[in-house]
Amino acid sequence: MTTKLSLKRLTLLALPLAAVAGVSTAASADEWTPTRSIEFIAPANPGGGWDTLVRTTSRVIQQEGLADQNFAAINVPGGGGAVAWAQIARDSGNPHKLFATSPPIILVPLAGTSRHDHNDFTPIARLITDYSIVLVRDDSDYGDLNELFAAIEENPGLSIGGGSAPGSMDHISIAGLASAAGLNAAEVNYIPFSGGGEAMTSLMGGHVEAVITGAGEASGQLGAGSELRALGVSAPERMGGVLADIPTYQEQDIDYTFDIWRGVMGAPDMPAEAVAYYEDLFARMQETEGWQDARDQLGWLDAYQSSEAFGEFLDAQKELFSEVLSELGLLGD
């Protein structure tokens, strides 16, 4: 099946690239510092991957004393990120506005549901790699992924929720997984929610059969006494912490992995000296004990890229995802 082969390629451009993490921005960063609080936007409701990244980085920066100004976490949900992007796009040149980003900045515009894409904003830095995780209610009859997909094959109406728009990250992730498991990826009954937190709430309420979301954002909902149970994680090998007992897809004879890169972008046409300041800030943040503790607890992997390298990476991701959405029939006009 051609869809399966191409979807498996999604991991090739999203691997952590420690070799490109080198940054020489300290001298330039000294030329500019924020003069007021920084608006740090999560383009979704609380509880999702963008929200987790924004609040975690803001907390670490404050606790480690890395910036004189506060990073104010702001949630702007809607349209799989499109509502926030439209607001940010109108604030060209503002050096005090940042937002969390991940594959939807590529996927949502390609699907035709946002007129703004990554080229309309300023890349700051890629920070981490996360993974997808499939969750069911703790009282679910499904013991593993193969049992879930067998039920879906028998009853295609069974729904799987996710925290991103149709054709966006969670949808692509579950479509690729279903394809690798032998199903028709285009027929997966995917239900979009405005963030992973809302998707998990819907799962607990019995409104969907399963949820696919980021492993990092789900980690706080798992463990002793949890109402949720994980069937599998998209990492190439088992993760740590509360996720250590969750089998990978490959352990369940489904040859598929999926990486979720996450990073930071700024308003359009952000001054170069402000970009240099933030590049340096996030590079220093990743060296702190506070960041490393939070990263490990959330199951993230450091995958830093500077502004220039991140921009080139985004261009390559657009080319790759264009092929995948076209094969799924989800590429917008």
The contacts of residue 228 (CB under 8 Å, 6+ apart) are: 135, 136, 137, 138, 200, 203, 204, 218, 221, 222
User: Does the structure show a pLDDT above 80 at 6?
Assistant: no
> To which residue do tokens 């404050």 refer?
62
2-130+259-328 is classed CATH 3.30.70.260: no
Is residue 333 very low, low, confident or very high in pLDDT (cuts 50, 70, 90)? low
In terms of phi and psi (left: phi > 0; alpha: psi -120 to 50; beta: otherwise), the region of 93 is left
Does this chain's domain 2-130+259-328 share its CATH topology with 131-252?
yes
Q: How far apart are CA 177 and CA 294, in angstroms?
A: 28
pLDDT of the residue at 242: 80
CA 137, chain centre distance (Å):
22
Q: How far apart are CA 121 and CA 106, in angstroms?
A: 12
User: Does the structure show a pLDDT above 70 at 266?
Assistant: yes
Q: How far apart are CA 27 and CA 10, in angstroms?
A: 36
Helix (H, G, I), strand (E, B), or coil: what is residue 209? coil
Token pair belonging to 330 = 């989800």
Inter-helix orientation angle 169-180/307-328, to 10°? 60
Is residue 59 very low, low, confident or very high in pLDDT (cuts 50, 70, 90)? very high
> What backbone phi and psi angles, to 5 degrees, belong to 131?
-135, 160
Average pLDDT over residues 111-123: 94
Q: How far apart are CA 77 and CA 57, in angstroms?
A: 19
Is residue 131 very low, low, confident or very high in pLDDT (cuts 50, 70, 90)? very high
Instruction: List, in sequence order, every residue forming a beta bridge with 189; answer none if it has no partner.
Output: 159
Q: How far apart are CA 109 and CA 258, in angstroms?
A: 20
User: Does the structure show a pLDDT above 70 at 5?
Assistant: no
Token pair belonging to 181 = 């498991």
Length of the chain: 333
CA 59, 258, 138 angle in degrees (round to 5)?
75
Helix (H, G, I), strand (E, B), or coil: what is residue 105? helix
Residue 15 near residue 179, CB atoms below 8 Å: no
Per domain, the residue ranges of the chain are 2-130+259-328, 131-252
Is residue 216 very low, low, confident or very high in pLDDT (cuts 50, 70, 90)? confident
Q: pLDDT tens-digit profile of 275-322? A: 999 999 999 999 999 999 999 888 889 999 999 999 999 999 998 888
User: Does the structure show a pLDDT above 60 at 7?
Assistant: no
User: Does the structure show a pLDDT above 50 at 114?
Assistant: yes
User: Does the structure show a pLDDT above 90 at 16?
Assistant: no
Please give the CATH architecture assigned to the domain spanning 131-252: 3-Layer(aba) Sandwich (3.40)
Q: How far apart are CA 191 and CA 158, in angstroms?
A: 10
Q: How far apart are CA 48 and CA 215, in angstroms?
A: 10
Q: pLDDT tens-digit profile of 135-167? A: 999 999 999 999 999 999 999 999 999 988 888
**Strand-pair category, 97-101 with 122-137:** unpaired
Global pTM?
0.78
Structural Rg of the chain based on CA atoms: 19
Average pLDDT over residues 22-51: 79
User: Does the structure show a pLDDT above 70 at 84?
Assistant: yes
> To which residue do tokens 């006494």 refer?
225
Residue 194 near residue 104, CB atoms below 8 Å: no
Which is higher by pLDDT, 45 or 88? 88
pLDDT of the residue at 332: 72
